[in-house]
Amino acid sequence: MKSLGWILSLMICVPLLTKAQTESKFTLEGKLENLQGKPEKVLLYYPYREQNFMDSAEVHDGKYHFDGLLSGPVRADLYLKYKKDTTNMGKDVMSIFIQPGDITVNSLNTFSNVTVTGSPSNEDFKLIQAAAVPFESKMAPLMDQYNTYAKAKNKSAQNQIAKQILALRQQMNDNMYGNFVRSNPNSIIALYALQQYAGINIKNPDEIQQLLLTLPANEQNSTDGQKLSQLIKLAKLAPVGGIAPDFIQNDTLGNPVALSSFRGHYTLLSFWASWCGPCRSDNKLFVYNYNKYKAKGFKILGVSLDKPGDKEDWLDAIHQDKLDWTQVSDLQFWNNAAAKKYGVVALPQNFLIDPSGKIVAKDVRGADLEDLLAKYYPGTN
């Protein structure tokens, strides 16, 4: 609950027609009691008008104040900032739900030991936070083990822990958000929970659509409801089990390359860009797997969403990351024609395609990708 991974910020990559929403004022009166140290400011982060908005308030005698406009309940992150802090991201952080009206936030002894009044949506949010506790207690030692193996460069043990972490995260997501929506479809934050459960690169569009239909009509027709509906439609353009849509784009030398020319091989279709940090990180694993399985016939086709005029950045990234497989792009950023066919709205994104042209997995990385390739290419050392 301590990240700024706002689902709303990622959704702005999708061109959508949405209607204006009525906004109302909120005030937030905060009080800090018996905290160690003397914070200088409190920072408030929350989504506002399709952007991540940050506000700050100075602390006087342990009190601070915020006010602004909201169209409805939103998750907000509050940070304490001390004079010695060199960045806005302090170690003292908490997440709450705020909404139009008068809200009070009182912290006793520690910043996160908080009592919130005036925000009914936060009461439901506490149910989600409570569901996370048993998973967080299991996650902490796994992360410690992962870091220990990483320092020791024990890749095999690191991969085993990574699989456990991934499985635990999936369970956590289902228990925190999926179960909340199933049990509380009329909650004021049910749509928020469904957004978190679905993610941006939706893997299970049919399930998400069914859950969306259980929400009240006004939530389905809201701006965020419309966005989620659009993401569901995009996810259905290239679903797991369907035939991968064909396309042709030019490679780095200007030669046309068709996806269909890769038929007969397991092929990882990787959407990335030179400006995308997580994509560049994924490339390291792709290089490892490509070198391990290319002799068996494994292929990768990279599609770059680099911007017009940035061909040199694209070529430099290919060279720096040592990407020896075929790379194509029309250099049209988010308007990349192939990305539109696949409903790509966030990077990195990939699709694993079997020799017949069928999509067998979506958004696979890390230990999951290694497991799949080991299954398709048994006996490879």
Q: Could you give the CA distance from residue 110 to residue 381 in angstroms, rounded to a whole number?
A: 51
The domain boundary, picked from 206, 235, 264, lies at 235
CATH number of the domain enclosing 302: 3.40.30.10
* Same domain assignment for residues 175 and 257: no
Residue range(s) defining the domain that contains residue 302: 248-376
Using DSSP's 3-state secondary structure scheme, residue 214 falls into: coil
The tally of domains found in the chain comes to 3
At 36 the pLDDT is 85
Q: Is residue 241 part of a domain?
A: no
Using DSSP's 3-state secondary structure scheme, residue 199 falls into: coil
The domain boundary, picked from 118, 134, 150, lies at 118
* Same domain assignment for residues 220 and 260: no
Give the position of tokens 């390739």. Answer: 373
| pLDDT, tens digit (0-9, with 9 covering 90-100), for 187-231 | 999 999 999 999 988 989 999 999 999 999 999 999 899 999 999
Most confident region among 2-6, 81-85, 335-339 by mean pLDDT: 335-339
* Same domain assignment for residues 100 and 212: no
Q: Return contacts of 204-211, CB within 8 angstroms, 24+ apart.
A: 205/232, 205/235, 205/236, 205/239, 208/232, 208/235, 211/178, 211/181, 211/182, 211/185
Count CB neighbours of 277 within 10 A.
Answer: 10
Q: Is the pLDDT of residue 177 over 50?
A: yes
Are residues 376 and 292 in contact, defined by beta-carbon separation less than 8 angstroms?
A: no
| pLDDT, tens digit (0-9, with 9 covering 90-100), for 3-54 | 333 333 333 333 344 445 689 999 999 999 999 888 999 999 999 887 889 9
Mean pLDDT value across residues 145-160: 89
* Same domain assignment for residues 192 and 257: no
At 86 the pLDDT is 60
* Same domain assignment for residues 208 and 307: no
| pLDDT, tens digit (0-9, with 9 covering 90-100), for 120-144 | 999 999 999 999 999 999 999 999 9
* Same domain assignment for residues 83 and 32: yes
At 370 the pLDDT is 86
pLDDT band per the 50, 70, 90 thresholds, residue 87: low
* Same domain assignment for residues 372 and 259: yes
Q: Measure Cα distances from 263 to 256, 268, 288, 354, 356 in Å.
A: 16, 12, 22, 8, 6
Q: Is residue 240 part of a domain?
A: no
E-only strand ranges, 92-204: 93-98, 101-108, 114-117
